[in-house]
Amino acid sequence: SAVGRGPEVPFNSEAYRISAAARGKELRLTLTPLGSAGAPQELVFRFGMSGSFRLCPAEQLPRHAHLRFRTRDTPPLVLCFIDVRRFGSWRLGDAWQEGRGPCVLSEYQAFRENVLKNLDDKAFDKPICEALLNQKFFNGIGNYLRAEILYRLKIPPFEKARTVLEALKEQEQERRRKNPSLTLSKKLKLMRENPDLLELCHTVPMEVISTEKNLSDPDHSDNYAAFKSWLQCYLVPGMSSLRDHSGRTVWFQGEPGPMAPKGQAPRKKRAQVESDPEAVTPKVPSRASRRRPRAAAKPPVSAEEEEEEAGDGRRKGRARRRRNVAAAPTLPEPEAQVKAERRRRTSARRGRGEAGSL
């Protein structure tokens, strides 16, 4: 599109197949020509906050469709990369971004080993909620996932990351000493029964993507409602929130932990009161009625009293008008009044020594 920030894609083919592979927060598309000797083209996408793909009819092209792949159907369909905020991006080539660790989903064992063998890294001097967003070690974990993971384990978000993870390392070593010949099936059973933080980094996102519907798709209200009901902590009423040291909001329950930013008080999310269609809407008093509270409080009067008060009011009104007419000075004619005003201004300027305007 004209406003897309990604590079032009130098690819041209009458027909081609699109395949995809994901790793952490990145997606790689491969465009493979069909029936020709052309070379494949690969693109690596990052989605930012709002990036997504959607397949739709060509005549219903959505706004913010920044990259478009058209089908040969009749009528044609379009596979669109949509990004409202334009935080997402794509780049040419097949290389994953440097500095990203193993994927929490597809490379779980390598991900786990990468964390536990690098606990001396300065990244783990930070609170655990901030370390979980470091893609060098937690490739694929984002803001809502960190809240859900920490909530399930009742870990304060601002506990030191190294303190939390070194305990996992000790537990794992103890488990190996007790069960040196533990089979894979028993390991999986233990993981399901007593998951630790690194195991939840794998299983919690799997809960979202392994459902029949994409729970996080905001374009379908039913799916998004299911996603909201799946959340246990993130944006849930009753949970507290603080901004971490990088400015991201973290949601939690209970105490924030010893490394919480100074000068902030946790804020609790209030439940939104849903409107009752059968509830009676209260009547808001008009401005005029608010001005006359005393008149409304007067006792009712009879018809004779009303007529007498009205007559007294007419007589008082006539007398008041006669007094005003007698007291009012005789006003000059409009033209004479204007001339008198001009003379007064001219004499005032001369008295101050001002020059006349040109």
For residues 124 and 249, state if they share a domain.
yes
pLDDT number for residue 228:
86
- The pLDDT of residue 153 is above 80: yes
What is residue 199's predicted lDDT score, i.e. its pLDDT? 94
Q: Does pLDDT of 286 surpass 90?
A: no
Domain membership of residue 293 (yes or no) is no
Residue 351: inside a domain, yes or no?
no
Which of 234, 251, 269 lies at the terminal end of a domain, its last residue? 269
pLDDT tens, position by position, 80-106 = 999 988 889 999 999 999 999 999 999
* Residue 43 to residue 28: CA distance in whole angstroms: 6
Inter-CA distances, 137 with 53, 54, 213, 235, 325, Å = 26, 30, 29, 25, 92
User: Does the structure show a pLDDT above 60 at 145?
Assistant: yes
pLDDT recorded at residue 86: 87
Least-confidence region, from 33-47, 244-258, 276-290, 322-336: 276-290
CB atoms within 10 A of CB 26: 20
Angle at Cα 157 formed by Cα 151 and Cα 163, nearest 5°?
Answer: 110
| CB neighbour burial string for 204-224, b if at least 16 within 10 angstroms, e if fewer | bbeeeeeeeebbeeeeeeebe
Position 21 pLDDT exceeds 50 = yes
pLDDT of residue 335: 58
Two structure tokens written together for 262: 């100074």
- The tokens describing 104, both together, are 């929490």
- Contact in structure between 102 and 201 (CB atoms under 8 Å): no
Answer whether residue 287 is part of any domain. no
Asked whether residue 298 is domain-assigned, the answer is no
Q: Tell me what pLDDT residue 22 has.
A: 93
Give the mean model confidence (pLDDT) for residues 51-73: 90
Average pLDDT over residues 322-337: 52
The CATH number linked to 159 is 1.10.8.50
CA distances for 262 relative to 158, 245, 289, angstroms? 12, 10, 50
Q: Are residues 117 and 242 in the same domain?
A: yes
Say how many domains are in the chain.
2
Please check the confidence at residue 340 and state whether its pLDDT lies above 70: no
Q: Domain ends where: 92, 127, 144? A: 92
The stretch 24-50 carries a mean pLDDT of: 91
What's the confidence (pLDDT) of residue 308?
38
Interior/surface letters 233-257, b for 16+ CB within 10 angstroms, e for the rest: bbebeebbbbebeeeeebbbbeebb
257 and 208 within one domain: yes
pLDDT score of 219: 57
Which pLDDT score, from 0 to 100, does residue 301 have?
Answer: 39
For residue 71, the domain's CATH number is: 3.20.190.10
Same domain, 118 and 258: yes
Are 68 and 147 part of one and the same domain?
no
pLDDT (0 to 100) of residue 284: 44
Q: Are residues 128 and 48 in the same domain?
A: no
Domain interval for residue 59: 16-92
Residue 272 has pLDDT above 70, yes or no: no
Residues 114 and 165 in one domain: yes
**Proportion of the chain above pLDDT 90, given as a percent:** 50
